Amino acid sequence: MAEREENISKISRREFLKDAGLVVGGATIGSMSMLNACKGGETTTITKTSTVTAPGNTSVSTVTVTSTPSEPSAANVVSLTVNGKKYDMQVNSNDTLQVVLREKLGFNSPKDMCFGWGACGSCSVILDGRPVLSCMAFAAELDGSVVETAEGIADSGHPIVKAFVDAYAIQCGYCTPGMVVTAKALLDRNSNPTEDDVRNALGGNLCRCGAYPRMFDAVSKAAQALANTPS
Amino acid sequence: MSETPTGNGYDFNHKLEKYNYIGKAGIGRKDGYNLASGRVEFTKDICFSHMLYAKPYRSPYAAAKIKSMDTSKAEALPGVIMVVRYDDPNPQWLAWYDPNAMPTIPGGFQAVLGDRACHGDQPVGAVVIAESTRICDEALSLITVEWEQLPWLIDGEAAAKPDAPILFPEINPKSNVLAVYPDPFSRGDAESAFAQADHIAEFSIRRWDNGCGNVEGAAVVTKWQGDEADAWLASQFPHQSQEAAVVNAYNLPSNKYHLFSPAHGGSFGATFHNFYNTLIGPLGAVLAKKTGHPVQLTMDTTPYIRDVIVGNFKFKVGYKDNGEITGIEQTGFSPCGSYTSLEKTVGDTIIPYISDLVTIGYSNKACSTTQRDGAGPCTWMNIPFMRVAEELGMDPTEIALTNNGANGSKEYLEEIAIERKRPGVDSLKECVTAGKKAFGWDERWHTPGTRQLPNGRKHGVAFSWAEEWAMWANFTQIMASVDSDGKVLLSGRRGDSGQDTVSCYARIFADETGVKYEDISCDFHHSSSSAIELKAPGGSGGLVNNGSAVVDAAHKFRKVLFEMATSTGEYANTAPVSFPGTTGTTPIFPGLTADDLDIKDSVVFDKANPENSKSIAEIIAAYEGMVHATRQGGATVIGSAPGLANHHHAPRQCHFMEVEVDTDTGKVYVTKLVNVNDIGKAINPDALYGQQYGGSYMGVGLSIQDRIIYDPTTGVMLTDNLIEYKWPTFQDIGADMKQVLVETELGHGIYGATGIGENVGACTSMLTYMAIHNATGVWVDQLPTTPDVVLKALGKA
Amino acid sequence: MNNFVHLNAKTIDEAVAALAQGSAWANAGGTDLVGTMRFHCLPATLYPSTIVNLKKIPSLDYIKEENGMLKIGALTRLEDIATSELVKGKWLALAEAAEKTASPHIREAGTIGGNICQLNRCWYFRKQNNVFDCVRKGGSLCYALAGDNRYHSIFGAVKACVAVNPSDTAPALVVLNAKIVTTKQTIEAEKFWDFGIPGSTVLADDEIVKEIQVPAPATGVKSAFVKLAIRASIDFPIVNCAAAIGAGDARICLNAVYNKPYRATDAEASIKGKTIDEASAETAATAAVSKAVALSMNKWKIQAAAGVVKQTILACK
């Protein structure tokens, strides 16, 4: 008969030492895989006539579909640096940063758990050094801003991504990019955060799977890795 | 005694002499890095050229019928492609309507493109298709509807009254009562039970609605090519429900509809709601067909899905001075969809009299059930136990041990232990002992209302327990194939909400075959056209069943590989699939038979002469010219396991909570939580601890704060967003949380393992009921125990 | 959300001129405005055709002390106030209130100016697609009055509306005698809030907040802030309280209990000059809610408010 225990605050330190030599798991995909053809969003003009056949061929009808691209308002030309690359583009007045990142630029890491209520943190990005909700910022107001997403943090080789994996601080993974972004922003300001610092910094990121306690471990692993990296 | 399942690949007592990967912590997740970097595609991340976006209109009323709808402004909005309406001329496939589909869930029968709303926020009447989600939202706000409001009721008890307006005359023209349930498991005799009792406690408890929600929301992407469609769908059970719905609705052969299951944000069980469960797939198919474009159909409401542990019950409990419970009666009301059963009380105790008489009534709630449904039976089981312990001033762990059993007897558990070759092992005793130690129970437990803390708050503790259960599964299969590089691919189709079963299956396969864990990869997302169907969700619950299929596949894999390694070309004639081009080749291990071989670290060797070895890749390569055939050919095996017959469970779980109650504000602070789960046998301890943490936050949330609130004047939900619906944050449970795994090997799954996914959240979801009494000496009469509930119990409001 | 014209104002004058054109809203952090725009919770007629972004206006983001007076630029982020050693020094209640506001992300974007100007959070008011066209939107009914008002006012209605002011920083500013400097006036914090459709302040349509000024508290004054919410993060308050007590004076203000921050003058009179202990705090807390009137579902909130007042007073010990 076996009995095991996990008490995260005790184990984390021990496991950190044990795992210190582990090889990075998972490959990094090139950063510029975005801008895939589909991400044209509203700039695509769809003017077409299509014959619609009901599945199972139960009925047939013809529908003519015509539309023009939605009009981008006045100027709203912004230059946005995302993960180190500059994008000059025209946005709609009511486009949030989240929409621009996901639907125009193809960065899928800002997720959408609370659907724009500002209540979950899953769409977190680092905007001009601050961890913020991309669903609550108008892209038209961000000319000249610098944005980091989870993809960029991973590409930069920041240890927080691997630390989340090693600490098993992931379940379904839907909130995880937002967590990673917020934790990275914390480490940018505080190289040796306490458990309270971590809990407070991640207080706005909901994880319905409840992987929270392991994030102490993840952040502490990443902090150690940063401390061991010669600057 | 339990019925022993039959069929290949299943043996209760199958064990390995040595476990290398099974049970080992710190291996990490195979899919972890891509998840953490935001690169894994969830359904809403999937995108195609010229893909369009669709969203349904939603009802502002709890019950109403559309008289007329004006969509002209929405249609005129730039970027809107079309608005599909309830009065579309192709009703036979647009307004898919089946009044008998889910008779217990009235919201379930109305089509999205019907004209009638059965609950507030129901998708109804129209779907907008546009070039972006933003334009969809804008267009939806431009739709105006003339409604005929219908009578509505939210409260199940009110709906059950004889003079209540009839809500669903199509189902029952005379009454809103679906059924009065005498629980089929009820047992014993009331008169003798209460006559034997030294005390009788009578009390009532109301558990309010809560929602598991789905972190991702409902979503499907559908793309037609000719008369075949590919679809990507966010669901824990995509194939069983959605694919079936599509092929049934359109009378399509299933080989024309290919359903892929991408990464899926936690949904914590199936969500038995019409939109989530059966309609979004067919509707997505229609919209994509109609526009001739790939379409992403979504709906943005998270806690919209109501959970199932709602009820307004009266309890009568008879008990003796020694803590022995003689009888439990539960009577009351529940809205339909609720899971009120005393199933766990029946299954886990020796209590001689158990009666459950619950009236189930229709209502205009967001009719659905989700599947942390064990929280219902766990709540109704533990509340009488908590009551008895506190009233007697006895340690609740003693009450649990006294009444623990199965099917009304103590012997039953002992028989299971003997059957599993673990005679004398008592799971609950193991769990209680481990938990008391981890929690410091003996120093913390006290009689009710007797400990005040220096910070002015009252200190209380609580204990809950139940069996460990796992979902009962159907026939399940997994495919193992080896490629030219000697690496093994496990595949099958199932939904994945992140339980990391990928690692579990790989661990089992590695230990059973001798193939290195690193050499095994898994594909469970992209095999929709395959007939290989794994039991979803594939977490610990599914693992109980699926694990047996993996073992079967592992054994078949070894057999086939060894035959390949020892056969001449004649193997081609005996292999499951022929191997062209191999005739006449020399065996890789000449003169040996399959029985002479073994595998270690992906190397096949002669047991008598281990120096004589070849890597799996070398064996595969020897079948020259057949590299591409190996996937489908002789090196591909299908492991299967039968469904399990239902029987009671021997492993137990128990949970220990410490709270501080602020009697000024009614706020309850959870300061310590210890979960003990007898997992039977741990396959992937990291995932198990993860499930325990998850259950902790969800269960404690259900106990103290998660609550759906409806407007009493309109029946509309007021908590349809994550500001008002309170999923626990990182800061909501004090730091001191400990997870303990006990491994008695008494489970009904592979190696004696059992499930855990739903269990912790279910069994912690009522802990504050006792903790508040232990702290203050007063009983709350409602869950969750929000400050208003606590202040009312304290007589301060 | 519907489309609108976006203006990135470069100066205060430019912003004010744009707002004066009518049908325009000023946007600072966006953490209230974006959601309000997105969810169509208001009738279409109340939505603006222009959004004026204030964030590009230079020199409105600062925390400084001048002649003992704390001056905070309107665009200062709540997180910067919460972590400012200067604010934590003499104006602790304000730092604590900022620190308890919403979630870290909201504090990183949300500004002090926006926090005091935010619209109410009544769940009828906020229900998507304007399902409840209430008095705060120009309608004729308060749905909370007859509906679920467990979190609503305990000090009565204003123009039949029982919604509450949800700001955490507001009561701290009131007890610390802050002044709000706008483009038109300098006004005592206590007089800054009022019933509006849909707003919650006395600001004119073309008026914006420029600066918060908080005098140094007298020697011996201690201030504190306590918040009751269901969750420790993200949530708006069920009730919050700020107090500044000492040097023979006491100022106590509750929020989320009324249409605007509620100065608990009875509690102030009760505790003023007394030694703070469990008994005196309890007495003052009872006084604080002596004029409270329960709605159909929020009697408990009166007790909760008293409890929060008591704890705030004790924190000033």
Q: What angle separates helix B501-513 from helix B540-566, to the nearest 10 degrees? A: 30
Residue B477 pLDDT: 87
Q: Shortest CA distance to B207 belongs to which of B112, B91, B332?
A: B332
Q: Which residues of B touch A111 (CB under 8 A)?
A: 38, 42, 216, 265
Assign B501 a pLDDT band (cuts: 50, 70, 90).
Answer: confident
| Chain C environment of A204 (Cβ under 8 Å) | 102-106, 233-234
CB-based contact C234 A119, cutoff 8 Å: yes
pLDDT (0 to 100) of residue B777: 98
**Window from B293-307, B578-592, C176-190 with minimum mean pLDDT:** B578-592
* Full-model pTM: 0.92
Q: Nearest residue of C to residue B715 by CA position?
A: C147
Name which residue leads in pLDDT, B242 or B791.
Answer: B791
Query: Quick check: B675 pLDDT over 80?
Result: yes
Q: Which residues pair with A85 in a beta bridge?
A: A82
Mutate to test the interface with A, among C1, C56, C105, C235 (most CBs of A within 10 A): C105
Does position B575 have pLDDT exceeding 50, yes or no?
A: no
The pLDDT assigned to C133 comes to: 95
Find the angle CA(C61)-CA(C66)-CA(C72) to the nearest 5 degrees: 25
Give yes or no for residue C116 having a pLDDT over 70: yes
pLDDT score for A1: 52
The verdict on A12 touching C (C-beta cutoff 8 Å) is: no
Asked which of B34-48, B350-364, B594-608, C119-133 is least confident by mean pLDDT, the reply is B350-364
- Per-residue pLDDT tens digits for B740-751: 999 999 988 889
**pLDDT interval class at B111 (50, 70, 90):** low
Mutating which of A4, A176, A179, A195 best tests the B interface, going by the most B Cβ atoms within 10 A? A4
Q: What pLDDT is stored for residue B277 in this prediction?
A: 64
- List the alpha helices (DSSP H) in chain C: 12-20, 33-38, 78-82, 85-90, 92-100, 104-109, 112-117, 123-126, 143-146, 169-175, 265-271, 278-288, 299-315
pLDDT digits (tens, 9 = 90+) for B680-725: 999 999 999 999 999 999 999 999 999 999 999 999 999 989 999 9
pLDDT at A61: 33
Average pLDDT over residues B237-250: 73
Total number of residues shown for chain B:
797
- Asked if ipTM goes beyond 0.90, one says yes
Confidence of residue A68 (pLDDT cuts 50, 70, 90): very low
pLDDT band with cut points at 50, 70 and 90 for residue B485: confident
Classify residue A156 by burial, with Cβ atoms within 10 Å: 0-12, 13-18, 19+: middle
Whole-number Å distance between alpha carbons of A167 and A218: 5
Q: Collect all residues of chain C within an 8 Å Cβ-Cβ radius of residue A127.
A: 109
pLDDT at A32: 25
Q: Read off the pLDDT of each residue in B322-343 and give the average, rounded to a whole number.
A: 86
Displacement of CA B212 from its chain's centroid (Å): 10
Nearest by CB to B78, from A61, A71, A168: name it: A71
Residues 13-42 of B with CB under 8 A from A: 26, 28-29, 31-42
Q: What is the pLDDT of residue C65?
A: 98
C105 touches chain B (CB under 8 A): no
CA nearest to C317, candidates C285, C286, C271, C270: C271
Q: What is the mean pLDDT of chain A?
A: 76
Strand partners, B296: B53, B221
Inform me whether the C-beta atom of residue C283 falls under 8 Å from chain B C-beta atoms: no
Higher pLDDT, B515 or B248: B515
Least CB-CB distance to A211: which of B51, B694, B728? B694
Q: Does the pLDDT of residue B542 top 80, yes or no?
A: no
Q: What is the mean pLDDT of residues C54-68?
A: 97
Does B144 or B92 have the greater pLDDT score?
Answer: B144
- pLDDT band for B642, please (50, 70, 90 cuts): confident
Question: Chain-centre distance of CA A187, in angstroms?
Answer: 17
Other CB atoms within a 10 A radius of the CB of residue A18 amount to 11
Cα distance from A219 to chain C (closest Cα, Å)?
Answer: 17
| Residue B689 at interface with chain A, using a CB cutoff of 8 Å | yes
> From the CA of A19, how many Å to the nearest CA of chain C?
31
Q: Give the pLDDT confidence score for residue B515 in this predicted structure.
A: 97
Cis amide prior to B576 (ω within 30 degrees): no
pLDDT at B576 over 60: no
- Residue range B590-635, pLDDT digits in tens: 899 999 999 999 999 999 999 999 999 888 877 654 444 444 445 6
pLDDT of residue A52: 32
Lowest mean pLDDT among A147-161, B6-20, B660-674: B6-20
In which residue are the tokens 């035959």 written?
B563
Chain A hits for C104, CB-CB cut-off 8 Å, are 131, 182, 200-204
Over residues B139-154, mean pLDDT: 94
Query: Does position A33 have pLDDT exceeding 50, yes or no?
Result: no
Rounded to a whole number of angstroms, the distance from the CA of A187 to the nearest CA of chain B is: 16
What is the phi-psi region of residue A62: left when phi exceeds 0, alpha when psi lies from -120 to 50, beta otherwise?
Answer: beta
* Number of other residues whose CB lies within 10 A of the CB of residue C45: 8
Alpha-carbon distances, residue B590 vs A156, B596, B716, C176 (angstroms): 53, 11, 76, 92
Chain B stretch 222-241, residues whose beta carbon is closer than 8 A to a beta carbon of chain A = 227, 229
Q: Which residue has the higher pLDDT, A195 or A20?
A: A195
Element of type H or E holding B390: helix B375-392
CA distance readout (Å), B520 to A191, B32, B509, C139: 37, 15, 8, 64
Of the candidates B687, B656, B669, B663, the residue with the CA atom closest to the CA atom of residue B753: B687
DSSP class of residue C104 equals: H
Distance CA B678, CA B747 (A): 9
User: Residue B368: is its pLDDT beyond 90?
Assistant: no
Predicted pLDDT of residue C36: 96
Which of B417-426, C58-67, C249-258 shows the lowest mean pLDDT across its residues?
A: B417-426
For B663-678, what is the mean pLDDT? 97
Percent of chain B surpassing pLDDT 90? 54
Whole-number mean pLDDT of chain C?
97
Percent of chain B with pLDDT over 70: 84
Q: What per-residue confidence (pLDDT) applies to B172?
A: 81
Q: Which of C231, C238, C254 best probes binding to B when mutated, by most B CB atoms within 10 angstroms?
A: C231
pLDDT digits (tens, 9 = 90+) for C137-146: 999 999 999 9
pLDDT of residue A60: 32
Assign C187 a pLDDT band (cuts: 50, 70, 90): very high
pLDDT for B176 beyond 60 = yes
pLDDT at residue number B580: 45
pLDDT of residue A191: 96
Q: Give B723's contacts in chain C (Cβ within 8 Å).
A: 121, 234-236
A149 contacts on B by Cβ (under 8 Å) = 38
Residue B117: both structure tokens together: 């709303």
Task: Write down the pLDDT at residue B254.
Answer: 77
pLDDT at residue B183 in the model: 63
Contact A55 B301 (CB under 8 A): no
pLDDT band at A59, cuts 50/70/90? very low
Per DSSP bridges, beta strands A146-148 and A77-82 are parallel
Answer whether B162's CB lies under 8 Å from B279's CB: no
Query: Taking CB atoms and an 8 Å limit, are A118 and C27 in contact across chains?
Result: no
From the list B201, B765, B654, B198, the residue with the least C-alpha distance to B395 is B654
- pLDDT score for B18: 94
Residue B168 vs residue B368, higher pLDDT: B168
Residue C50 to chain A, least CA–CA distance (Å): 9
How many Å lie between the alpha carbon of B123 and the closest alpha carbon of chain C? 14
Note the pLDDT of residue B114: 79
Instruction: Return the pLDDT at A118.
Output: 95
